[in-house]
Chains A and B, each alone.
Chain A
């Protein structure tokens, strides 16, 4: 469902060109659980941003569900982000002045869904992520784990086919991080494709397929048969 062919992404710092992604070829099938690891600056986030349509490659082609993304208009890309992709970030990215419930509701509002219908879905999500009691709290009043649960609820409320998580446990302690990972893995069990960028070897090894990057290139790509 995700097919990257000869993807290159270059950043220019003064006269210097930095190859964040250097001729990446990658195919990820629907329902896979993939972890991406590698040293800092190896291009992991850039890869995730391109898969998530937040960034555009300089060259190469990207097909998502057999559609050539590179040809789509800005509005069409926004629609795909809304309907097919869920982002989870290291720093949560919750809107500080909105409550947990309102943060979760945001993608539904953007999709133009009527209010009554939204409330049901938000209530279900609050229930599913054990946030009922925190529904009307603002992010500042929530713990790190709770914030990330709100972010995951928001990322999944539109039932996307791909979840992209960029170091989702980076700001959490080990135990809370493990809990958040198992929440994401539960989503994978329901058929969602899960792509996680992580520095943590132990967490990374839980994925069925582990990709190792360095200097904008994919060095290793191991499928774990045990799973």
Chain B
């Protein structure tokens, strides 16, 4: 029996058992579609988070006071020592390191903002002009230094706050009061919406000196540092730690977090999550495989006398094995293709429903889904096919 005839004959058989075939194809298709859609969802979520996190800066390092407990000794905590504060002087020292492009000291707090008969509490960032490029913020109008130097009493308003306080007039040049201090509006941030749980539309930024005065502190919350290049991030981190150790009398009480490391962790965790979910979906393919096997076994049983007849008119065991095998190939192929299409359709629906989510299944995931379906279907047919091939011709013919 030629290969073409085997494929054609088994194709006709698949078509003639319409309901049975559709059921198997559907089971296969749902499995493949589940893999494709869940991979699209997982990978979309991963890309979304990574994009968001990448957008907060480039080659960013964050210096914070205290030793991260996970990576250091507990000695400091055990001895009851409190870590030394970060100061503006520390920030200036770090800014002189050769690996550092620019730095921005950071203080964070809340205060009451009042102007034009309005009053509300706002989040306050205290920093320098470098904060804007380091944090990839954009100014819609004005600048951080529109009125004098970094030491002048000036303020940058978040887009929403500017709109709330000065809906009809130009914000730049307006006078506002923040806590007990008066500021001149020097710039307005472009609206960026929420990113990483932080809404830059509802903050105000003031020079670091005023922030320290406002919050009555001399220490810094964080120092943000941008390395000169991606390859210098690690050496920048080491240099920062060394500098801080020196300035803190040999004490290792500073932590440096790199954006890169956090990104890599996010990436790993989300990738693992995606794979786990897709793996669970792939189990449904195995269930489909078991279904294929059962239906094929029933089919061999129902067609016993037909198999006997085929043997009587000269079919070899190989012919019969191949016929059943080819049936499974057709069924799995149809299921895989239909499942792929369903999966693509599902991903499209996801993208339409959540436009900010790039829900595209990676090509390898689609291919893997299709291959797993084919392999399961074909493996599932092995037992029924060899059972059919082994049938005793006389007994098979005798069966009704």
Contact = CB atoms under 8 A, between A and B. Distances in A.
B394 A87 contact: no
B273 interface: no
Given A93-B305, A110-B319, A52 B312 contact: yes
Interface string A103-122: 00011011110010000000
Given A75-B318, A109-B1, A112-B2, A81 B313 contact: yes
B310 A106 contact: yes
A97 B309 contact: no
Interface string B2-25: 100100010011001100000000
Interface in A72-107: 74-75, 78-83, 85, 87, 89, 93, 95, 97, 106-107
A79 B314 contact: yes
B316 interface: yes
A78 B315 contact: yes
A141 interface: no
Q: Which secondary structure dominates where chain B touches chain A?
A: helix
Contact of A106 (B313, B316, B393): B313
A55 interface: yes
Interface of A: 49, 52, 54-55, 74-75, 78-83, 85, 87, 89, 93, 95, 97, 106-107, 109-112, 115, 154-155, 158
B306 interface: yes
Given A49-B394, A97-B16, A54 B312 contact: yes
A74 B9 contact: no
Given A81-B311, A110-B1, 6 more contacts: A78-B311, A78-B314, A81-B314, A109-B1, A109-B5, A115-B5
A78 B312 CA distance: 8
A49 B187 CA distance: 100
Contacts of B308: 93
B212 interface: no
Contact of A89 (B310, B311, B397): B397
B317 interface: yes
Interface in B304-353: 305-306, 308-319
Given A74-B317, A97-B13, A109-B1, A81 B310 contact: no
Contacts of A112: 1-2, 5
Contact of B316 (A49, A75, A87): A75
A107 B314 contact: yes
Contacts of A93: 305, 308-309, 312, 397
Given A54-B393, A74-B317, A87 B2 contact: no
B306 A107 contact: no
Contacts of A115: 5
B317 to A, nearest CB: 6
A91 to B, nearest CB: 8
Q: Which secondary structure dominates where chain A touches chain B?
A: helix
Contacts of B393: 54-55
Contacts of B318: 75
A155 B313 CA distance: 8
Contacts, number: 67
B183 to A, nearest CB: 87
Nearest to A82: B314
A82 B313 contact: yes
A95 B309 contact: yes
Contacts of A110: 1, 310, 313-315, 319
Contacts of B310: 106, 110
A55 B315 contact: no
A78 B307 CA distance: 13
B2 A83 contact: no
Nearest to B393: A54
Contacts of B394: 49, 54-55
Contacts of B316: 74-75, 78-79
A76 B308 CA distance: 17
Nearest to A84: B314
A109 B9 contact: yes
Nearest to A114: B2
B5 A95 contact: no
A74 B315 CA distance: 10
Interface in B279-325: 305-306, 308-319
Contacts of A52: 312
Nearest to B318: A75
A30 B306 CA distance: 30
B175 to A, nearest CB: 90
B1 A107 contact: no
8 contacts: A55-B393, A55-B394, A74-B317, A78-B314, A81-B313, A87-B312, A110-B310, A115-B5
B16 A154 contact: no
B11 to A, nearest CB: 13
A111 B314 CA distance: 8
A145 B315 CA distance: 26
Contacts of A107: 313-314
Contacts of B311: 54, 78, 81
Contacts of B317: 74, 78
Contacts of B309: 93, 95
A54 B313 contact: no
A151 to B, nearest CB: 10
Contacts of B9: 109
A26 to B, nearest CB: 19
Contacts of B315: 78, 82, 110
A83 B313 CA distance: 9
B393 to A, nearest CB: 5
B386 to A, nearest CB: 14
A36 B7 CA distance: 41
